[in-house]
Structures are given as C-alpha cells and as structure tokens.
Amino acid sequence: MRYEKVQMATFLERPNRFIARCRMFDGSIQESHVPNTGRCRELLVPGCKVFLRFHDDPRRKTRHTVIAVDKGGLLINMDSQAPNRVAAEALESGALRLTAAPPTLVRREVPYHESRFDLYLEAPGEKVYAEVKGVTLEENGVVRFPDAPTLRGLKHIRELERAAGEGYGAAVLFVVQMEEAAYFAPNDDTQPEFGAALRSAQAAGVRLIARCCHVTPLEITLGEEIPVRLK
C-alpha cells in the first residue's frame, strides 16, 4: 500500500481523538485528521515526528491525515484503514495464505450471523472466515492488542469461535504496523476479556496469526510472522 504527497511535521497536541495539531516545515500550524480512534498515547507524544498525507481536496475540513509516527527511531504506521488493504494486497500477491491451497474466492466485508467479517475465502475443501486487526501498541519490543477496550473486537473473536464450531475455517490476522517485534500478546491489562476470548478461540480451532510490516513514510506492506503468546 502506497501513499502520495507525504510531508514530515512535528506533533503538538491531540485536542480530540480525530484531530492532531502539527507544526509544518514552514512553521505553520495545521490541524490533521487522525485515522485511528485508539488512545495512541505512547505514539502521539508532543514533539515527536509525524508523517502527514496531503489531500488536494478543498471540501475536506482537514487537508492532512496522520499516517505514521516516529517512536524513538521506530516508524509506526497508524492508519486504521491500512491493515485491511495490506492484507488484501498480500492475499492477491500470494504473500499471505489463509487457506491450504490458493483461494478460488476472496470476498471482503461478509455477513455472518450477527457480525460482519473482514474476509471470506474459499479453496478446495475449505471455507474460511477471517478478521484483520491493526496493531500499533509496542512496549519494549512486545506488541499488544487492543490499546483501548473494544466491544466490537471482542464480538468478532467470539463469532469466529462460533464459526469454527460450525465447521468453518477461522482466523484472526494481527497486522503489526511496524517493522519488527519480539512477539504479539493480548493486552490483558487493558481488556482481560479480549485475552480470554482469544485463548478460548484458539482452543476451539481459530488460527491466530501476527505479521509485522515493512513501513516507510510512503509505503506499508506485509512482512514477517512473529510468535503469538497468549500466556
């Protein structure tokens, strides 16, 4: 996934979850859209470097979107729209495999009972539902999800366990929006129910996958798999 018209700026403050005030290279202060409703407190620290995508659209309330932040030399993409697009591109190129054989059908945003999953795939002898979650929280090399309680995410995990119980393949892909990490773990401190749901889902046959990403100010693509540790 590539971005165009990217500019570097300095983050000043986040008056609400949708807006970041940033100082541009020319010294002007611009309000930029934050495409991530998570807390991101460890990312958006006053004085940090951020990368903004410029939108040449006068109808927009903000002309910039925050797409990445430099956290002590680690570049982290924080665009919540990126993980699904990255996963779709990786499936298309063959860099990601969620079925044993190459899929014959890939659909996005597919209803399932009371939920809607990001992906549905078919391959010979397989029907798989999958959910994609973007991960931006990093602490001492360990990446965790969620960074804020998510009832929607919890519902998805429980519904995937239900799908596995009905004989479908089921998977959760955690797209880690940074270059490297030691391992992925659920953020039990923030939402212990989510971690418990992940453990139950894995025991029921839901596949848990965590993949880091190659990240630059202009691009994010799916990278290497890292371990998932639930205990």
**Three-state helix/strand/coil letters over 43-90:** CCCCCCEEEEEECCCCCCCCCEEEEEEEECCEEEECCCCHHHHHHHHH
Whole-angstrom Cα distance, residue 191 to residue 173? 19
Range 194-220 average pLDDT = 97
Query: Is there a single domain that holds both residue 62 and residue 102?
Result: no
Range 44-53 average pLDDT = 96
Q: Is 228 exposed, middle or buried (0-12, 13-18, 19+ CB in 10 A)?
A: middle
Threshold 0.85, pTM exceeds: yes
Query: Is there a single domain that holds both residue 68 and residue 87?
Result: no
55: which residues sit within 8 A by CB, 6+ positions away? 5, 62, 63, 64, 65
Greater pLDDT, 221 or 42: 221
The phi, psi pair for 166, rounded to 5°, reads -90, 5
Single out the residue in 60, 76, 92 at which a domain terminates: 76
Looking at residue 59, what is its pLDDT?
82
144-161: b or e for each residue (b if 16 or more CB lie within 10 Å)? bbbbeebeebbebbebbb
Examine the pLDDT at 222 and tell me if it is beyond 90: yes
Task: Tell me the CATH number at 147.
Answer: 3.40.1350.60
Q: Which two tokens stand for residue 68?
A: 């990445």
Query: Is there a single domain that holds both residue 48 and residue 137?
Result: no
Single out the residue in 76, 109, 126 at which a domain terminates: 76
Single out the residue in 47, 76, 105 at which a domain terminates: 76
Looking at residue 114, what is its pLDDT?
84
Portion of the chain with pLDDT greater than 70, in percent: 100
Domain that holds residue 160: 82-226
pLDDT interval class at 21 (50, 70, 90): very high
